[in-house]
Chains A and B, each alone.
Chain A
Amino acid sequence: MIMLSVHNLFQNKIRLSISIGGVALALSLILSLNAIFAGVEEKITAYINNSGADIFIAQSGVENMHMASSSLPAIVEDEVKTISGVEFVTAINYVPNMVVVGDERNLAYIIGLPPDSKLGGPWKIFKGASQPKAGEAIIDRYVAEKSGVGIGDEVEIFGRQFVVAGLSEETASLVNSFAFISRSDFSTVRGGANTINFLLVKARPEENPERLAETIEAQLGNVTARTTAAFSMLEKKVVKDMSTDVINLMNLIGFLIGLAVMALTVYTATLSRRSEYGVLKALGARNSYLYTTVIAQALISVVIGVAVGTIFTWLVSKIILGLGLNLTMNITAISLAKVGSLALLIGCFSAVLPIRQISKLDPATVFRGR
């Protein structure tokens, strides 16, 4: 039966290629969008995950960095240092702004770092310094290359000139990047020397970060303390909550398109072999045998479609990376499972019409020469 399905399917290779291509593309619509959002989630948490901190402390009620604002009195830093279980603390300033070079304007999250900060600085340096001194900035390598600047050149941040002292890597996304300046410069240009935005805490090795975060919240009162893992999850949740509706809609449209293409393929393949199915019926083949053949035909097509769609999406992700677009596409196991399930549904549903055709088929057709 499987052999019959395979023969039937592969008999016309052009039709098979077009239909598998259609299904693969429809599935890659779903896969691409899922991969894009998974990539955004990864990029959005890169700073948090690479900060080196065990705990993030923010203003009470603030659980995010991106598109969020947190403001803490500078005195909180000293208060946190006195809490048992805290190894060391780094206070950072943070605000979205621009790295400007001539007419080239790059949206960037500007991080103000204290001298010799142990946490929250650039985690991978391509060239130059890893700690910004007064008047210096560490900017992303991609932004620097795009803007045509290098070490020793000047860039404008907060409307003030900074000398590029270092180039960081893995700090840029499609929309923005991270740039690091000293906290003293940050306070000078932004004001509010007595205000910090986030506190990054390293716990003592023997301390449980979750318990320490609870202790910090309980002792300080008006702050939010989350472990880095929890803070990262909450950051991902923003992307997830924002994208759920869009992804669901796209999944539905992708599913319907895939279904239409597959239904068309299986329908035309069955139709063109109608007389052969008639012969099988005349020879005594049961309807159930023929139904299974049609379903197997549909399932073989979608399995190949899933494989081609996955390879296509993977290739697209590599091409996009190669074009330097800074758009990361992550094909996750979850989205593959989702696409696989949708493909199975497509395969089963698309067999409905051909099955109806076969059930109506009169075995005598073959003898009538129709």
Chain B
Amino acid sequence: MLLAYRNLSQDKTRLAISVIGIALALMLILLLNGFLTGLNRQVTSYLSNSPGSLVVAQKGIRNMLGATSLLPQGVVADSLAIEGVEKVVPILSQFVILDLHDKKQPAYLIGYDPDSGGGPWQLAAGREPQTDSEIVFDEVLAKRHNLQTTDIFKLMGESYTIVGLSKGTSSWMTSFIFVRKTAIEKLLRIPQTASFLLVVPNNGANLEELSARLDAITGINAVTKTEMAANDISLFSKVFSVPLRLMVAISFLIGTMVVGLVIYTATVERQKEYGVLKAIGASNGTLYRVVIFQALIAALVGSVAGVSFALGLAKLIMVIRPQFLIVLNLSDVAWTLVTGIIMALAAGFFPARVVARLAPATVFRK
């Protein structure tokens, strides 16, 4: 152990560069996972904070952010008549592309009735919309584009006055903005319609049974909010999982190569000393352990540095670009440390071969 440590720390510059290399690779893995976790949390923020436990959507639609749902007429009354339903909150929603300072920004527009609910759950400034020409903007999006309450904002040819700024509604992909439901009906030319109903059940109502009763209404299906959120996450995961896995795999390979390069160089440089150890009777097993210990030390220091880098950079990114949410879970950190160990074991392969092939006589010939 001590020999491994001395061998490794003999050249501090090399050790420092290698630790940085490993740390950067692991930091990238951690950041990418944290980014996806944050995105998942952001895309489901509306479902997590809006009223009700069930969502009624057009038949065949079981997620909120992917497909556009349009409910048949009369579904509000039909749903209210179902046993176990206490309240129904209709919303009309649609993805829109905002033009903000020559930048295209997707946003999820929610039309709601302030008397029923389904609007912003926390206001950082201002109030809810009282007329069809008023809008509540996401606080982060507004700040990024120097928008504030009383500013006029143009959306799909219509002018809206920003009357409120909402909190917790920001996302890199889908910041939420809110208008009255009647305003969006006019904007999309679909009067008296709703995309979804947020269903608040009576106390003690069984969600599964209630969902089945709602399903009996023609042209709709009821989905629990938990399932709908999971479906939205799965949709976004579909978009990001392949690129993300690719990046993680490349980062893992890079980290392994960096550890490998360091340990290999350190071993080759000390070939003579390993020869001496062999000559005085050290077994291959002992020498392997020395090599593997070196790899483990480098990987462990690199992993700890990587986690620290990731924590620091995540904070920095969220300050500079508040639309990004990077959530670093304890389990991700643990996995990163495990990844570091796997890297070390994989990287120890080549140097171990060098040691294994070493003839003890080498030392006496030189």
Contacts and interface: CB of A to CB of B under 8 A. Distances in A.
Interface of A: 12, 14-15, 18-19, 21-22, 25-26, 28-29, 32-33, 36, 59-64, 67-71, 73, 95-98, 100, 105, 107, 156-159, 174-176, 190-192, 195, 222, 234, 237-238, 241-242, 245-246, 249-250, 253, 256-257, 260-261, 263-265, 267-268, 271-272, 316, 320, 325, 327, 353
22 contacts: A14-B350, A15-B261, A15-B265, A15-B268, A21-B253, A25-B254, A29-B247, A29-B254, A60-B157, A67-B95, A95-B70, A96-B67, A96-B68, A159-B59, A159-B220, A242-B172, A260-B20, A261-B21, A261-B258, A264-B258, A265-B261, A353-B17
Contacts of B20: 260
A139 to B, nearest CB: 14
Contacts of A222: 157
Contact of B243 (A33, A190, A192): A33
Contacts of B250: 25, 28-29, 32
B21 A67 contact: no
B61 A98 contact: yes
A191 B219 CA distance: 13
Contacts of A250: 247
Contacts of A176: 66
A314 to B, nearest CB: 13
Given A253-B24, A257-B24, A260-B24, A71 B189 contact: yes
Q: How big is chain B's contact interface, by range?
A: 35 or more
Contacts of B104: 64, 234, 237-238, 241-242
Contacts of B268: 12, 15, 272
Interface string B245-260: 0110011011001101
A154 to B, nearest CB: 13
A73 B14 contact: no
Contact of B156 (A33, A59, A158): A59
A316 B66 CA distance: 28
Interface stretch (B121-129, B234-242, B333-341, B355-363): B234-242
B232 to A, nearest CB: 11
Contacts of A246: 172
Contacts of A253: 24, 27-28, 31
Given A191-B70, A260-B20, A174 B239 contact: yes
Given A241-B105, A268-B261, A257 B254 contact: yes
B96 A260 contact: no
B99 A22 contact: no
Interface in B71-119: 73, 94-97, 99, 103-106
B262 interface: yes
A327 B156 CA distance: 31
Nearest to B22: A260
